Amino acid sequence: MDLTAAIKELPEVHAVALRLHRAGTANAEIAAELGIEVAAVPPLLRLAKAKLARLLAAPEPCEKGATRHTDHSS
């Protein structure tokens, strides 16, 4: 799964926070956009990044329930 597809799989609040963060948006602006306290942004981003990492590391499904592991070691 590529990064864009993985971000689309996240809960909306996590996806928005990550998109804004990747665009260089300040935590105060992210907080205002999401309607949360500024202090909540760093833990939200950590959680979003952890969920994203799990999605990116997960084997991709193939036919009939089999899975395909993509080697990202190079």
Distance CA 1, CA 3 (A): 7
Mean pLDDT of 33-58: 96
For residue 60, the model assigns a pLDDT of: 76
Topology of domain 3-68, per CATH?
Arc Repressor Mutant, subunit A (1.10.10)
Domain ranges of the chain: 3-68
What pTM did the predictor assign? 0.76
Place of tokens 């993509």: 70
Closest residue by Cα to residue 27 from 39, 35, 14, 13: 39
Taking 80 as the threshold, does the pLDDT of residue 3 lie above it? yes
